[in-house]
Amino acid sequence: MNSTFKTLGHLLDNAVDTHRKTARLYVSLSIKAGDPRCRMLLEDMASYEFRMAKLVNQFVRQAQPVALDTYMQYTVEESPQALIREQAPDADQPTLKQISQMGQNLHEYQINLLEVARRELGGQEALELLDNLLQLEKAEGRSFALKTASAYEI
């Protein structure tokens, strides 16, 4: 964990940025993908990430300023660029397995980021905001797992 003394608002802005940058990675990989199953999965994943960036941003815009201004001493936050670069497959045409692993790792980062932040916060408004975002992230994660499984079956 990093000792950062950042606000919840900053952390959520980072989450939005990570979703957007992840979506752009998936789009670029889908263009290169030779396997139609990989292309379809990457396009779905990009759509999911763009949707999540929009939804998290909506949560932030509707949140109480007191919740967003809540400081946290510790986070597991990473730079979106570094995180995504680390998770991107080395191959020009990644396999379904590589794509699934990358998507799972990036999704787990987002959930872990919110769960650690939740443990750091005490304010009711901030906790409610994070609880709602965690439910959304986890529901979308289950949807991703189903899509990945169906891509293997095609």
Chain segment 2-42, per-residue pLDDT in tens: 556 688 898 899 899 999 999 999 999 999 888 898 999 99
Percent of the chain with pLDDT over 70: 92
Please give the pLDDT value at position 77.
67
Q: How many residues does the chain have?
A: 154
| pLDDT of 147 above 80 | no
Please give the pLDDT value at position 56.
92
Superfamily for the 2-153 domain: Ferritin, core subunit, four-helix bundle (1.20.1260.10)
Q: How far apart are CA 103 and CA 23, in angstroms?
A: 10
Q: How far apart are CA 149 and CA 154, in angstroms?
A: 9
Distances 132 to 24, 128, 137 between C-alpha atoms, Å = 25, 6, 9
Q: How far apart are CA 14 and CA 110, in angstroms?
A: 10
Beta bridge partners of 3: 74
Look up the pTM and report it: 0.84
The residue among 140 and 12 whose pLDDT is bigger is 12
Chain segment 74-108, per-residue pLDDT in tens: 667 667 778 888 888 877 788 888 888 888 888 88
